[in-house]
Structure 1
Amino acid sequence: MPLDVTALVLLGALLHAVWNALVKAGSDKSLDAAMIALGAAIVAVPVLPFMPLPDPDAWLFILASALFQFVYFQLVAASYRAGDIGLVYPLMRGVAPLLVAASSGVILGERLSAGALAGVATISAGVLTLAFEARNGGARAILLALANAFVIAGYTYIDGIGARLSLNPVSYTLWMALLPPVLLFAWAFSQRGVAPVLFHVRQQWWRGLVGGAGSIGAYGLALWAMTKAPVATVAALRETSILFAIVISIVFLKERISPFRIAAGCLIALGALMLKLA
């Protein structure tokens, strides 16, 4: 892979970890997650006029993806209320590809290679290592993160099929970004009232724009890189976001350092890389 492509994929992985850190560091994690979804939609809107509409067959998948994304952002917020990013992020990011790999035989009729099986085993070892964290009060955070991994695996299948049906994956992604903030803010307004939500948005608008731009930017960089280098290599390199999240958790968020957490994060990142390269 060319050096410039490698650097941009790593930048995308860093951006993904950063927007998660913005949610973790925020004072109201549910609203901050909703604002990042809104920021991604705001970034997407100016590009839409220059993109073709997705094929009609893809719109049902865009709607289904929005519903999964709504649950995803709610669980992101709940996970970060319950635990550290250094604990939660590797589970959400690393276990999802494990679930996809493990279920692809039933759903898509695919058989796992020896390398993929090794990746599954490595991620599983990382998850089991994190069980030691549960003894220190991390059980709820681990369960929420694992639940979100199932949601991520769900919308991975939905988007994988929908993007192919759309005949334009970039257009599909941009349209898909519009609906989740509508659902998230409608829920927030119904639960909290309009005035408190708008007050938080006025105070923390920058968090949504920066995080939303990072969210869209991370995916856009990956799409671009996949036109310049093998898809499997790019997808594997993106899993370095797990390691970036661990570094951010220690250096910037001042979360406690646990040997089990560091070992688990490295195992999950390695396993995810092995899965993508298999």
Structure 2
Amino acid sequence: MISYTGGLVLLAAVLHATWNAMLHGNRDRFLSMTWMSIAIAVVATLAVLFMPWPADAAWPYIVASGLLHIAYNVSLVRSYRRSDLAQAYPIARGSSPLLVTLGAALFAHEAIGLLHVLGIVMISGGIIALALQGGNVSRASALAALTTGATIALYTVTDGIGVRLSNGQALTYTAWIFLFYWLMPVLFVAMRGLTALWAPLRDGPLAVGSSLAGGLVSIAAYGIVIWAMQTGAMGAVSALRETSVVFAVLIGRIFLREAVTARRWLACVIVAAGAVCLGL
């Protein structure tokens, strides 16, 4: 039976797949990610005004995580430029539980049991199947997605340790991390100019609205994960969240009209099953 915490993490998985689909569904993903980040940063700015100051011990992790999240955003956009959602998302999200479990063992002294080893093997096998099936995923696409997976693992382990040093202030910790999302519009304007950022408000308000909504969904999705990592094993929480690969493929098939072969479905199920093994 899935616990209350496990149920919330599964909800986070659905939310995470949803906002990734929103991002992938927009033609200009860099622009979309920037508007998502603006929504996240605005909410975070308002939130910190009414929250206590973070614990001193948590600050190095807040700064590191905030910067890692920006690196993740850029890497995710790059990955989605090279692959469709049903390819890039499973590889990126499927590789992260393996890396998180290893990172948690090294830096937080979390044990790796036999069931975890089985989960790692299943996830790795599923990723290989996704990357090699019929030559549909190029080496560059697989590398971009795996790089995204590495950034996911880095910020997850960082946050898993940081939130445990926050004296139970998971919401405060999360809000301060999300303040760093103001760096995304700064990066966008530096690369494309201010006009490119504001023009879509006139030319494509629906796309901007979708991006803003995606940002709000993203806050809820990752906020749940940080809250769960206060007491739950990082590898287990990350793994359960990564069952979102199945939701992402389903969303890609139904709403984005992406072709999903039987072999890809099987590979995604294997990745998800391995993630569940890591979460047990």
Q: TM-score range by the shorter chain?
A: 0.7 to 0.9
Residue 174 of structure 2 corresponds to which residue in structure 1? Answer: 173
- Partners of 2:226 and 2:34 in 1: how far apart? 24
Shift of 1:41: 2.1
1 CA distance for matches of 2:228 and 2:57? 27
The residue matched to 1:264 in structure 2 has which SS?
helix
Single out whichever of 80-89 and 40-49 deviates more from structure 2.
40-49
Alpha carbons of 1:2 and 1:57: their partners in 2 closer, same or farther (altered >3 Å)? Answer: closer
Tell me which residue corresponds to 2:187. 187
* Residue of structure 2 equivalent to 1:35: 35
Aligned-partner SS, 1:54:
coil
- CA shift at 1:9, angstroms? 4.6
Equivalent in the alignment of 1:205: 208
1:166 & 1:226 partners in 2: Cα distance?
12
Question: After the TM superposition, which of the residue ranges 119-128 and 56-65 deviates more from structure 2?
Answer: 56-65
Rounded to whole Å, the distance in 1 between the matches of 2:228 and 2:104 is 25
Q: TM-score, normalised by structure 2?
A: 0.87
Q: Deviations over 1:224-270 (max 9, x none)?
A: 7789xx94687654333111101011111111122222111111111
Residue pair 1:132, 1:260 contacting (<8 A) in 2 also: no
Asked whether 1:269 is paired with 2:272, we answer: yes
Q: Quick one: structure 1 residues 10 and 104, their matched pair in 2 at CA, closer, same or farther if it must change by over 3 Å?
A: closer
Equivalent residues in 2 for 1:112-261 (5 A)? 112-133=112-133, 135-167=135-167, 168-180=169-181, 182-200=182-200, 203=205, 204-222=207-225, 231=232, 237-261=240-264
Query: Residues 161-219 of structure 1, C-alpha deviation per residue, up to 9 Å, x if partnerless?
Result: 22122221221011110112x22111111111111122135533312321011111223
* Aligned residue in 2 for 1:88: 88
SS in 2 for 1:27: coil
2:78 aligns to what?
Answer: 78
3-state SS, counterpart of residue 138 of structure 2: helix
Distance 1:133 1:139, change over 3 A: farther
Residues 201, 116 of structure 1: alpha-carbon distance in 2 compared, 3 angstrom cutoff: farther
Superposition map of 1:6-85 within 5 A: 9-85=9-85
- CA distance 1:91–1:185, shift in 2 (3 Å): same
User: Could you tell me whether the CA contact under 8 Å between 1:133 and 1:139 is conserved in 2?
Assistant: no
Residue-pair matches, total? 274
Partner SS state of residue 166, structure 1? coil
Deviations 1:105-131 (A, max 9, x none): 433444421011011111011011113
State the Cα distance separating 1:63 from its structure 2 match.
1.6
Aligned to 2:102: 102
Deviation at 1:2, TM superposition (A): 7.6
Cα deviation for residue 5 of structure 1 reads 7.1
| Contact 2:94/2:127, CA 8 A, preserved across alignment | no
How big is the shift at 1:37?
A: 1.9
TM-score, length basis structure 1: 0.88
C-alpha separation in 1, matches of 2:7 and 2:117: 29
Question: What is the distance in 1 between the residues matched to 2:81 and 2:257?
Answer: 16
Identity, % of aligned positions: 37
Distance 1:96 1:60 in 2: 22
* Contact 2:163–2:229 under 8 Å retained in 1: no
| 8 A contact 1:61–1:162 mirrored in 2 | yes
Query: What do residues 85-139 of structure 1 show as CA deviations (whole Å, max 9, x unaligned)?
Result: 1111112112111012234443344442101101111101101111323712433
Q: Which segment is superposed worse, 213-222 or 149-158?
A: 213-222
| Structure 1, unaligned runs of 5 or more | none
SS, match of residue 136 in structure 2: helix
Q: Secondary structure at the match of 2:49?
A: helix
Contact 2:23 2:211 in 1 (8 A): no
Q: Could you say if the C-alpha distance between residues 134 and 50 of structure 1 is closer, same or farther in structure 2, counting changes exceeding 3 Å?
A: farther
Is the contact between residue 134 and residue 142 of structure 1 (CA under 8 Å) also seen in structure 2?
Answer: no
Q: Quick one: distance in 2 between partners of 1:70 and 1:276? A: 27
> What is the alpha-carbon distance in structure 2 between the residues aligned to residue 192 and residue 108 of structure 1?
41
Residues 25-34 or 106-115, more deviating: 106-115
Gaps of 5+ in 2: none
2:238 & 2:127 partners in 1: Cα distance? 21
